[in-house]
Structure 1
Amino acid sequence: MFTNDMVECKQDEIVMQGMDPSALEALINFAYNGHIAIDQQNVQALLIGASFLQLQNVKDACCTFLQERLHPKNCLGVRQFAETMMCTGLYDAANSFVHQHFVEVSVSEEFLSLRPEEVLELVGCDELNVKAEEQVFEAILAWVRHQREERESCLPELLSKTRLPLCRPQFLADRVQQDELVRCCHKCRDLVDEAKDYHLMPERRPHLPAFKTRQRCCTSIAGLIYAVGGLNSAGDSLNVVEVFDPIGNCWERCQPMSTARSRVGVAVVNGLLYAIGGYDGTSRLSTVEVYNPETDTWTKVASMNSQRSAMGTVVVDGHIYVCGGYDGKSSLSSVECYSPETDRWTIVTEMSASRSAAGVTVFEGRIFVSGGHDGLQIFNTVSERPHHIVSPFSKAKACFLCEVCLYFCTGAMRLR
C-alpha cells in the first residue's frame, strides 16, 4: 500500500474499513514485539485483522484457539465464520464437530436459527453421528416448530432427506405418522407410507433411492474392535469377549457370552453385536446371542435352522446373511437370512457349491462368496447372490483369514 504506486502512498491519513481499533493496535504491537494475547472477546476481531494484514501466524493461532474451544452451542457459528474467512482447516474441524455431536447441536439455538438450505444440507449428510434415524427426525421437527408459520412448508423436503425406512416400525406408526405436522401434509404422509412399505414389502426395497436405506456413518469417530470367542492355546473354545479402543490403545474384557464359541460368525446391526453359531468344543451350534454395548449384556435370540461353524456372515439392508459353513458332518451350501425386527431366520437361495471358511463380502447390494473348501478341495470359484457364478481366482484359496489359521480364528467386528 505504501511502497507501490497506489493512491494511499500519497495520503497523510488512511481510513481502514472493517478493522476493530483494539485488534489493529494489538496486531501493530505484535509486529514489533512478537507477542499477542488471544481471548474469547478478541479472537474474531484478531482473525479478521490478521487476514487483512496477511499475518498468517496470528491467523493460524486464532484458528487453533477457536478449534480447541468448539462446543455444540458454538460450532455452527464457528463453521460459518471460518467459511467467511476462508480458514479451511478450521472449517473442516468445525464441520466434523457438527457431525460428531449432531444430537447435542440439534438442540442449540444456533441450529434452530439455521436457514432452510443449511438444515437440508446437514440432515442429508452421510456422516451424522446418530444412534438411530429417529434422532434426525426429532431434530427436524424441533427446527420446524421453532418458527412454524415460516418453516412448515419446508417439512416435506426435509423429510425426504431423512432416512425414514431406517426408523423402527413402532416409531413410524406411533410417533411419525401421528405427528400433527405430518398428518396435515399429503407429501409427508406419502413418505411415511414409503417407509412403512419398506418394512412390510421387502421386495420393493431395491426401488427406493439408495441413500434412504444407507446407514449413516461418522467416519471421524474411531470405532471399537470386538474379538468374540475363539480358541485358546490348548484348543478349547472360549466364551471370552474383548474390546479394543484404538484411541486409548488398550484391550478390555466385556461380559462373556453364555456359550463358548470358536469359528463363530459375527455381525453388527443397529449398534448391536451378534454372535452366530460356531463350535463349543463338542458340537456345531445353531444358537445366536446378541450383545448390547450400552448395557454390557448378552441376550439370546432365535436360533438358525442349521448348525454351522466357519460360515460367512454379512449384513445387507439391516438383515444378517450366513452363507455355508460346516455342520459337523459336511460343508453346507445353504444360506439363511435373519430379520432383527421379526427375530426369525429364513432359508434363502442356496449357493452353487458347499463352502466352509469362505470369504464373504457385499458389493452394490449383492453378496459375493469367494473361495473356501468343502472338506475335500479348496475352491477358486466365486458365488454371487442372486444366484450366479463369476470368474474364478487364478489360484485356489480359502478365506483370507482362515487359510492361515483355519482352526484358531476368532470372530472380530468393528462396532460404532
Structure 2
Amino acid sequence: MEYRSEGREKQQHSLNLLNKIRDMKAAAEMIDVVLVAEDEKFPCHRLVLAAFSPYFKAMFTCGLAECSQREVVLHDVAADSVAVILTYMYHAALELSAANVQAVATAAYFLQMDDVFGVCQRYMMRHMDASNCLGVYLFAKQMGAEDLCEQSRRYLHRHFAEVSLHEEVLDLDPHQFLTLIQSDDLNVSREESILDLVLRWVNRDRPARSGHLAQLLGQVRLELISPAFLRQALKRNTALLCDAGCIDRIQRACEAIRTPQQPSPNLRYGMAVTNLLLCIGNDPSGIRSRHRNYGDASFCYDPVARKTYFISSPKYGEGLGTVCTGVVTENNTVIVAGEATASRLSRQKNKNVEIYRYHQTGNQCWEKLCTTEFRELYALGSVHNDLYVVGGQMKIKNQYLITNCVDRYSVERDSWKRVAPLPLQLACHAVVTLNNQLYVIGGWTPQVDRPDEEPDRLSNALLQYDPSQDRWRERAPMRHAKYRFSAAVLNGEIYVLGGIGCVGRDKGQVRKCLDVVEIYNPDGDFWREGPPMSSPLLSLRTNSTSAGAVDGKLYVCGGFHGAGGIGCVGRDKGQVRKCLDVVEIYNPDGDFWREGPPMPSPLLSLRTNSTSAGAVDGKLYVCGGFHGADRHEVISKEILELDPWENQWNVVAVNVLMHDSYDVCLVARMNPRDLIPPPPDLVAED
C-alpha cells in the first residue's frame, strides 16, 4: 500500500532540512561559494543561493566563469543587506527595520527575489508616516514598484500639511520639488502654506536655489492668497525682493484679486472640503432604470455648489440591512449603526447591532467597525471620538426586556468596554452631548410595582454621564414624563420640545401630545419652562433628536427637524391630525417663538425613524419627503433651503436621483473629489 505523508509531516520534513542546512553553514561544511560585498565575505552554498534567487541560478548554470569561481563579488549591494537576505534563506526570518528596509529591498530587487521585495514593500506600507512617505515614494518610483509608489503618493498628498513640516521635503532637488508643488491633489486648506514652503526650500540653500525661485513661484496659486499675506511675504523675504520677476508676479496677483476677470486657479484637494448633506441608506425603489447602477449608492448634496454626488451605501453587498441611527464624531468620522442583511443574519448565531464607519481617506467605502449585543430602541451618542450605545430593549430568552447597560467603543483602541450602567432601565430615550458629558433624557422604563397593568411607564429623568469618572448622576427631573420628543443643545443648555407624555411622574394618568418646551441649565442643575409652541410636536423619531439650531435659533418644522410631521393646530383635543407645513422658530435672546415661513407644501419625513434635514452654513435643508398625511401619496424628490435672512423657502434642486426612502440624514465635512459623480445625463440636465 502506498503511504502519503500528512501536511504536518511535510512541514516537519521541511523544517528538518532547513535546520540541517543551517547547521552545515554554521559549521562551514560543504561551503562551495563565498559572496563578497563591501569587502565582507559570506560563506554559503550554491544550491541554497540558486534555490532562492533566479539571479544566482542563472549565474551558476550559465557556463561562464562564475560557475567555477570560489568568490563572487556583489557590486553596489550593501553588506548588511546581504547578511539579512542570507539569514532569510537559512533561518526563514527576514529582519527588517526602518533603517535597513530600503537597502534590503534594493538588494532583493538586484537578486530578483520577488518574495523578499514584496515583504519589504508591505513593511514600508505598514510603517508609512509623514516623516518618511516622501522618501518611500521616491524610492518606489525609482524601483518601479507600482503599488508602493501609488500608495505612498496618495499618502504624501493626503498628509501634505504634515509632510511639509519635515526636513525630507526640503532635501528634494529642484525638479522633484517643482513637480510636487504643481499637484492639484495636495491636501492643504490654504495656499499660503505652499508659498511658505517654497520660501523655506529656497532659504535652505539660497546661493544654489534662489535662481529657481521665479519658476517655483509660477506654480504657487498666488490668486488664492490674501493680498495682505503676499505683501508681508515680500517684506520678510529678501530672496523675493532681490528678484524683479517675483515682485512683478506678486503685484499682478494682487491686482487680479482686486479685479477678478479671469477664472480662479484650480483649488488644491484640501481646499475643496465642504459640508455635505448625506442621505445614508437606501431602498432600491425610486431609481430610474437607466440609472440602476446608482441603486446601491447613497445620495449626497453640496448646498454651496448646488451639486449632487453619491457615496457607496452601508447596505451594499453584505453590509447593513437597516440603518437605525448615525453620528458624526468630533474628528468628522461618519458612523452608522443598524442590523445586518437578512442573508448575513441567517448565517449568524446571534443577532447583533452592527456598526460601520465610512473610510474617507482610504478607498472611500464603508468598513465594519464593530458589533455589540443586539437591542432595539437604544440611543447612540458620542463624546470626543468614543461611541456609546445606551440602554434599549433586548431580547433575552424570547422575552423583550428593557436594559440599563451602556457599552462604549473606542475608535482609537478598536475595543468595546461595558461602562457604568444607567441608574434605571430605559428605552426610546434621547441622548445629547454637552460639555463632554452625555445626557440621557426621558424614554420608557419598566413598571415594577404593577407589572400586570401597562407594561412600561414614561420617564421624566435626566441622567448625566461623566466619561472621565465612569459615573452616572441623576440630575433634576423634567416636569413632564415623555418620549418621542425633540432634543437639541443651544447656547450651553438642553432644549426638550414636545413629545408624548404627562405631567410629573407617570402613574397611569392620561398621555397626550405636548406643546411644552423645557430648558435645562447644567450649571445650576435646574429646568425652566420655555414659551409653549403654537402646535403640539410629535417626533416620530424614537432614537435621536429632531430639532436643530441654525444661526443661534431653534427651528422646528412639524414633527421633524425640517421634514414635516403629523400634528394638529393648537392643543390636542382630539381634532383632525394632518401633515404640517408649519415652521416655528425659537429665539433664546427674547425667549419667544415666532412663526417661520411655511414650507412650500406639507411634508412628511421619508421614514418614521428618521430626519430628512440638516443645517449647513447657517441654512436649513430638507431632502425629499412625502406630500400628504399618509405614505401613499406623492413622493417629493426636491431639496428645500430655508434662508433665515430671507425668511423664505427656496427649491434648490428638483428631480434629484434620490431613493424613495433612506434611513438617516447627516451633515459631515467631505471632499467632493472623493465621491461618486452623478450620471452624465443628469449633469447635462442641470
Which category describes the TM-score, using the shorter chain as reference length? 0.5 to 0.7
The residue aligned with 1:341 is none
Matched residue type, 1:158: L
The residue aligned with 1:205 is 262
**SS of 2:73 mapped into structure 1:** coil
Residue number among 183, 201, 223 corresponding to 1:143 in the alignment = 201
Matched residue type, 1:215: L
Q: For residues 170 and 109 of structure 1, what CA distance do their matches in structure 2 show?
A: 28
Q: Report whether the alignment pairs 1:36 with 2:94.
A: yes
The residue aligned with 1:217 is 269
**SS of 1:96 mapped into structure 2:** helix
The residue aligned with 2:108 is 50
Displacement, 1:123? 0.9
Could you say what the CA RMSD is over the residues aligned between the two structures, in angstroms? Answer: 4.5
Residue number among 61, 69, 72 corresponding to 1:14 in the alignment = 72
Equivalent residues of 1:133, 1:163 under 8 A apart: yes
The residue aligned with 1:231 is none
Equivalent residues of 2:130, 2:163 under 8 A apart: yes
Q: For residues 27 and 327 of structure 1, what CA distance do their matches in structure 2 show?
A: 64
The residue aligned with 1:92 is 150
**Distance 1:45-1:263 versus aligned 2 partners, 3 A rule:** same
Higher-helix-fraction structure: 1
The residue aligned with 2:657 is 400
- Taking the TM superposition and a 5 Å limit, the aligned residue runs for 1:81-230 are 81-176=139-234, 179-202=237-260, 204-206=261-263, 212=265, 214-217=266-269
**SS of 2:81 mapped into structure 1:** helix
Q: For residues 84 and 278 of structure 2, what CA distance do their matches in structure 1 show?
A: 56
**Distance 1:251-1:357 versus aligned 2 partners, 3 A rule:** farther
Q: For residues 582 and 665 of structure 2, what CA distance do their matches in structure 1 show?
A: 11
Equivalent residues of 2:78, 2:103 under 8 A apart: yes
Displacement, 1:179? 4.0
Matched residue type, 2:597: R
Q: Any idea what the Cα deviations from partners look like across 1:237-293, whole Å, max 9, x if unmatched? A: xxxx953522386985787432327669xxxxxxxxxxxxx99444239xxxxxxxx
Q: Report whether the alignment pairs 1:415 with 2:467.
A: no
Q: For residues 172 and 127 of structure 1, what CA distance do their matches in structure 2 show?
A: 23
**SS of 1:45 mapped into structure 2:** helix
Q: For residues 242 and 144 of structure 1, what CA distance do their matches in structure 2 show?
A: 45
The residue aligned with 1:4 is 62
The residue aligned with 1:284 is 597
The residue aligned with 1:77 is 135
- Taking the TM superposition and a 5 Å limit, the aligned residue runs for 1:223-372 are 243=328, 244-245=333-334, 246-247=358-359, 256-257=549-550, 258-259=552-553, 260=555, 280-281=583-584, 282-284=595-597, 357-359=651-653, 372=654
Displacement, 1:163? 1.2
Q: For residues 218 and 157 of structure 1, what CA distance do their matches in structure 2 show?
A: 23
Equivalent residues of 2:616, 2:667 under 8 A apart: no
Equivalent residues of 1:263, 1:409 under 8 A apart: no
Q: For residues 24 and 409 of structure 1, what CA distance do their matches in structure 2 show?
A: 58
Equivalent residues of 1:263, 1:410 under 8 A apart: no
Equivalent residues of 1:66, 1:78 under 8 A apart: yes
**Distance 1:225-1:358 versus aligned 2 partners, 3 A rule:** closer
Displacement, 1:24? 2.3
Unaligned runs of at least 5 residues, structure 1: 229-240, 265-277, 286-297, 312-323, 329-335, 337-343, 346-354, 360-371, 373-397
**SS of 2:61 mapped into structure 1:** coil
Matched residue type, 1:140: V
**SS of 2:188 mapped into structure 1:** coil
Displacement, 1:126? 1.0
Q: For residues 641 and 104 of structure 2, what CA distance do their matches in structure 1 show?
A: 70
**Distance 1:280-1:415 versus aligned 2 partners, 3 A rule:** farther
Equivalent residues of 2:222, 2:253 under 8 A apart: yes
**Distance 1:49-1:184 versus aligned 2 partners, 3 A rule:** closer
Equivalent residues of 1:123, 1:161 under 8 A apart: yes
Displacement, 1:124? 0.8
Q: For residues 147 and 109 of structure 2, what CA distance do their matches in structure 1 show?
A: 14
Q: For residues 327 and 45 of structure 1, what CA distance do their matches in structure 2 show?
A: 59
Matched residue type, 2:97: D
Matched residue type, 2:150: D
Equivalent residues of 1:263, 1:279 under 8 A apart: no
The residue aligned with 1:350 is none
Q: For residues 270 and 651 of structure 2, what CA distance do their matches in structure 1 show?
A: 31
158-167 or 186-195: bigger deviation: 186-195
**SS of 1:38 mapped into structure 2:** coil
**Distance 1:223-1:33 versus aligned 2 partners, 3 A rule:** farther
Equivalent residues of 1:227, 1:242 under 8 A apart: no
Q: For residues 39 and 21 of structure 1, what CA distance do their matches in structure 2 show?
A: 16
Q: For residues 22 and 97 of structure 1, what CA distance do their matches in structure 2 show?
A: 29
Q: Any idea what the Cα deviations from partners look like across 1:363-416, whole Å, max 9, x if unmatched? A: xxxxxxxxx3xxxxxxxxxxxxxxxxxxxxxxxxx2334x9579x996856435
Q: For residues 95 and 621 of structure 2, what CA distance do their matches in structure 1 show?
A: 64
Q: For residues 115 and 279 of structure 1, what CA distance do their matches in structure 2 show?
A: 64
Unaligned runs of at least 5 residues, structure 2: 1-58, 280-325, 335-357, 360-366, 370-379, 383-431, 434-488, 490-548, 564-580, 585-594, 599-614, 624-637, 672-686
Displacement, 1:144? 0.8
Larger radius of gyration: 2
Q: For residues 279 and 154 of structure 1, what CA distance do their matches in structure 2 show?
A: 64
Displacement, 1:310? 6.8
Q: Any idea what the Cα deviations from partners look like across 1:307-358, whole Å, max 9, x if unmatched? A: x9779xxxxxxxxxxxx99899xxxxxxx9xxxxxxx99xxxxxxxxx9645
